[in-house]
Amino acid sequence: MTSLLSLHIHKLLLLSLLALIVLILSACLGNTKPIADIDWLDVIGEGSTALALGVWLLMILRSRPAGRVTNLLTMGLGFMFLAMWQDALDEFFRLAAGQYWESMIESILMPLGLGLLTYGVWHWHKEQLSIRMQLQKREQCFREHLWLDGLGQVSLADQVRASLRRDWQRPGQYQALLMTELRGFADFERRHGDREAERMLREAGELLLLNLRQQDMLCRFARDRMVVLLPETTPATAFTIASELQQAVEHFSFRAAGDGARIPLRLDVGIAVRQAADSPDNLMERGHEALARASLGNGLSLVS
C-alpha cells in the first residue's frame, strides 16, 4: 500500500499547496469572524464533508497505480475537496463584497470535480468489468474482501458455503466438488520455512486456476487444502478434471529459493458427487472423506 502511495506524492503535495493557498488568501484578504458569528453546525457539516473527500482520495491513491483512471478520480475528488475546504473557511473569514474569487472556487470547482469524478468512475466501471473476467474462477457472483485469502488471493471456505446455499435449490447446479491437498506439504514447510511454503501455495493455486474451466470456482478451505466447485458436471467429467489437475501439479517445476532445485509436487484429490438427498454440509463432508481416502491411496478417490 505504501509503495503505491509513494507514486502519488506529487499529487498530494499539489493538493496540499492549493489548500494552503486558499487558506492564506482567506486569511489575508478577509476578516476573522467573531466566535459568536460562527455557525458551528455549518462548520461541522462542511468540514466533515471536506475531510471525507480527503480520506476517499487517500484510499484511492493507496490502492491504485498511476494511470488515467487514477488521475481522473484524483482530480475529481481534489476539486471537490478544495470547494468544500473553501466553503468551510467561509465560516471563519468574512470577505469584502467585491471579492468574487471565493465564490468562483465553490461554484466552479464543485461541478467540475463532480464531472471529472463521474467520468473517472465510468472508466473505473469498465476497468472492473475487465478485472471481473480475470477473477471469475475466484469469485463467481460473490465479492467480499473478508472472504479473500490474503495468501493465495483465492476465496475462503465461506464463499464455498454461500455458493452452495445459493444454488442448492437448482437441481444439478453443483453436481461435483473436489477437495485437494498438497501431499507432504507439512514436511516441506518444516524444511524450507513459512515463506517458501507460502510461495508454493500461491503458485500452486494459480496453476489450479489455469487448469479449471471458466464456470468452475476455486476456494481455500485450510492451509494447503482447496475446494473446487464444478457446476453441472458429471462424475466422469469430474474425475477427468481431477486427473488433469494432478498431472498439471506433477509436471509443475517449482524451484526452491537459493539453489533453484526442482521440488516435485503431488496433489491428492477427493471427489464428492451430489446426491438427491444431499445438503451442502453433506457434500463437503464427503469431499473430506474422499480426500482422506485419496491421501492413503494413489492420490485420487471418488465418493458418490
Q: Given this model, what pLDDT does residue 143 score? A: 42
Could you say which of 137, 158, 179 is where a domain stops?
A: 137
CATH number of the CATH domain containing 149: 3.30.70.270
The span from the CA of 77 to the CA of 83, in Å, is: 10
**Amino acid at the residue 286:** R
The span from the CA of 57 to the CA of 59, in Å, is: 5
Q: Among 52-56, 136-140, 241-245, 275-279, which stretch is predicted with the lowest mean pLDDT? A: 136-140
E-assigned strands of the chain?
A: 30-32, 93-95, 155-156, 174-182, 217-220, 225-231, 254-255, 262-263, 267-273, 300-303
pLDDT mean over 68-79: 93
DSSP class of residue 147 equals: G
Instruction: Name the more confident of 142 and 61.
Output: 61
Task: Looking at the structure, tell me whether residues 166 and 76 fall in a common domain.
Answer: no
The residues with which 220 forms a beta bridge, in sequence order, are: 156, 226
Query: Residue 60 is placed in which grid cell?
Result: 484511492
Task: Looking at the structure, tell me whether residues 131 and 156 fall in a common domain.
Answer: no
The span from the CA of 167 to the CA of 175, in Å, is: 11
Residue 209 has pLDDT above 80, yes or no: yes
Q: Given this model, what pLDDT does residue 170 score? A: 66
Q: Given this model, what pLDDT does residue 159 score? A: 67
> Residues 65, 27: contact at Cβ < 8 Å?
no
**Amino acid at the residue 35:** I
Percent of the chain residues topping a pLDDT of 70: 85
- pLDDT grade, residue 67 (50/70/90)? confident
Could you say which of 109, 137, 165 is where a domain stops?
A: 137
- Range(s) of the domain holding residue 265: 145-303
Q: How many CA atoms lie within 13 A of 20 on its CB side?
A: 6
Q: Model confidence over 98-147: pLDDT tens digits?
A: 677 777 888 889 999 999 999 999 999 888 777 666 555 554 544 444 33
Instruction: Name the more confident of 59 and 130.
Output: 59
Task: Looking at the structure, tell me whether residues 129 and 268 fall in a common domain.
Answer: no
Rounded to two decimals, the pTM is 0.56
Dihedral of CA atoms 34, 35, 39, 43 in degrees, nearest 10, equals 110
